[in-house]
Structure 1
Amino acid sequence: MMIKYHPTDEMLMAHAVGELTASMAIAVSAHCEMCDQCAKKVALFTEKAAQQAFDAASLNDDNTEASITDSLNEESVDMDAMFGNMLADIMSDETVPKTLVTPSPQAEISVCGETYALPRALRRYHQLGWSSIGTISRARLPLNEGDTRASLLHIGMNGSVPSHTHKGTELTLLLGGHFEDEHDTYVPGDFIVLDGNNHHTPQTHDGCLCYTVSDAPLHFTKGVSQLLNAVGRVIY
């Protein structure tokens, strides 16, 4: 199955220019490792932002160096062309020396007897401490972003998260395995953003590992799980 859920173009653009928080930048980076479509968009947005920054710098130089002679202006044009060619070379996969592309070491994470490969954006977090309730295990990333919590979330085989909605916004990036809810079936790479307008009961047959970012607790809506709402801020 193909990835169906992606970051918005606005989010990809913000990522390209470094405007996302650390937790969201990790999510977008990890998604782009699994999604060629979004990786290509980020590359284009990055190139566009670099060109705009260079154009702005050139315009500023023109305004402050009005006394430069015609010969120096011609030399400046040549330098612009050289920079443009250099930027094109940098952005081209074919021209980047392979020796400069050094991938991070392979990192795997084991949870409840299952092993998953982590994307590069998360490999530094392969030794987190886990806490578990039933088939659900969570390891929080030490990002210190106030009320925003970033975590690795594992749901074991034939497990589920009780029926809930959201007090704030929750991002779920599926890293491995599969899960489904009342709305769809999700595959690795799916980038799912939900808020208080969404209500669902995620469940998995083969187990799954997700990266989640939440800015408020879940709100459980059915059965005994509603008792968890009293301590929701502690466990989200």
Structure 2
Amino acid sequence: MKFHPSPELLLRYSAGTLTPAMSFVVASHVQQCNICQSTQDNLEYMGGVSIENYADSTVNDASFDSLLNRLEDNPTSDQSNLNIPLATDYQSMFSDIVDKKYENVGWQSIAGKIDRAEVNVADGDNQVEILRFAPNAKIPQHTHKGNEYTVILEGSYTDELGEFGVGDFIHMNQNHHHRPVASKKGCVCIAVTDAPMHFTGVLGPVLNLFAR
């Protein structure tokens, strides 16, 4: 697991100030990542005004490191004493987060090798969906009109930016152009978007007619 939520997202998640959709996707990563679970536990230990003050302002790496230094100076935040139950079954993890059985999400085929299922988390600003890619499935070249946050639940994919595996938290926006290709084992991921994709390849004008 190489890619994690930004310091600001972790702080806002711990403070409970994220939207339902963003809280869902961050939780999907945190439940699989012992590093971020430890950080979250420490942030929650600090509690109260400290977290809210950081969450209500722009958080940079320096302020995040400052907060972590305060945590490290507190002996009761020793990570060696933390009991961190990592999620090993993403279907059970999904059910715990949204209180709905994974097998009942309602898959819809959107292409020969790609299925999707929309997840209702009562968030009017963002769309949440689970995407399931068959082995070696290719997604057409595209960028994003807004933000896309993805957490991989099973399998992996590669694109121009590298390889992304189970648990990785990926943030894409209009500055990124890529053409993901699922691994030989396929890929299942959760995606939260606040705007449609914009296809840029040869078939872009046609595909964009069907983009949300």
1:121 aligns with 2:97: yes
Residue 135 of structure 1 deviates from its aligned partner by: 0.7
Output aligned runs, 1:1-236, within 5 Å: 3-50=1-48, 52=50, 93=82, 108=91, 118=94, 120-121=96-97, 124-126=100-102, 127-132=104-109, 133-204=111-182, 205-233=184-212
State the distance in 1 between where 2:147 and 2:45 align.
Answer: 30
User: Are the structure 2 counterparts of residues 107 and 192 from structure 1 closer, same or farther at C-alpha, using a change threshold of 3 Å?
Assistant: closer
Contact 2:116–2:131 under 8 Å retained in 1: yes
Over alpha carbons, which structure has the higher Rg? 1
Residue 32 of structure 1 deviates from its aligned partner by: 1.3
Aligned pair count reads: 185
Identity of aligned residues (%): 32
Residue identity in the other structure for 1:121? I
Q: Secondary structure in 1 aligned to 2:151?
A: strand
Contact 2:20–2:122 under 8 Å retained in 1: no
TM-score by length of 1: 0.69
State the distance in 2 between where 1:200 and 1:146 align.
Answer: 27
Please list every run of 5 or more consecutive structure 2 residues that lacks an aligned counterpart in the other structure. Answer: 52-75
Of 123-132 and 216-225, more deviation after overlay is shown by 123-132
User: Are the structure 2 counterparts of residues 123 and 156 from structure 1 closer, same or farther at C-alpha, using a change threshold of 3 Å?
Assistant: farther
Q: Which has the higher helix share?
A: 1
Q: How far does the alpha carbon of each residue in 1:144-195 deviate from its partner, in whole angstroms, 9 at most, with x for none?
A: 3224100111111110111100001001111110110011011101100010
RMSD value over aligned CA atoms? 3.1
Please list every run of 5 or more consecutive structure 1 residues that lacks an aligned counterpart in the other structure. Answer: 54-86, 95-100, 110-116
Contact 1:30–1:122 under 8 Å retained in 2: no
Q: Which has the higher contact order (CA 8 A, sep 6+)?
A: 2
User: Are the structure 2 counterparts of residues 26 and 125 from structure 1 closer, same or farther at C-alpha, using a change threshold of 3 Å?
Assistant: farther
Contact 1:30–1:120 under 8 Å retained in 2: no
